[in-house]
Amino acid sequence: MLTDIGVVAHEGSATLDDGTALHTFTDPDALRLFIHTWRVLRAQFPAVEFALNDDATIASWSGPATQPTPAQIAAGVAAYRAAEAQQVMDADALRTQIVTIAQSAVGVLVTNLDGAQVRALLIVLLRKNDALDKALKVRPLNEWVS
């Protein structure tokens, strides 16, 4: 059972492997709806085997839980999108805070930097080297240190 979906982008389309079939999308909104629906169902019903049609409706459902209604799925997708939007806003706010602190280090002798400035500059450098994940945790060294 897959825990996440694989998406391969092509020029003008994307192919998605949900573990049951390959789906090809040319509409980015349809692709996002499919991914969000899949992730919501996987999170809410981890023991259920399911497959989705290209329009993100349930094609098959097998497991201990009752199949959710389209309204329940839509509510789950809306909550997922709201949480995703909040994460983006939080990340933007954190980025602004880090840049502001790092900017305060400009022109300061390196031995006179305070702790917040050093941390902000380190975060900037780590992000530039793709060493941080979305939660600002340092990724495994073998993924970014050569």
Q: What is the pLDDT of residues 77-121, one digit of tens each?
A: 999 999 989 988 988 888 898 999 999 999 999 999 999 999 999
Nearest C-alpha neighbor of 40 from the set 10, 14, 77:
77
State the Cα–Cα distance between residues 77 and 106, nearest whole angstrom: 44
- Helix (H) or strand (E) run with residue 23 in it: strand 22-25
Q: Quick one: pLDDT at residue 141? A: 92
Q: Quick one: pLDDT at residue 1? A: 52
State the Cα–Cα distance between residues 118 and 123, nearest whole angstrom: 9
Q: Is 108 helix (H, G, I), strand (E, B) or coil?
A: coil
The structure tokens listed for 104 are: 């305060």
**Residue whose structure tokens are 């994307």:** 14
Q: What is the pLDDT of residues 118-141, one digit of tens each?
A: 999 999 999 899 898 877 889 999
The structure tokens listed for 42 are: 């996987």
pLDDT at 3 over 70: no
Confidence class for position 6, pLDDT limits 50, 70, 90: confident
Q: What single-letter DSSP state applies at residue 3?
A: S
Total-model pTM: 0.63
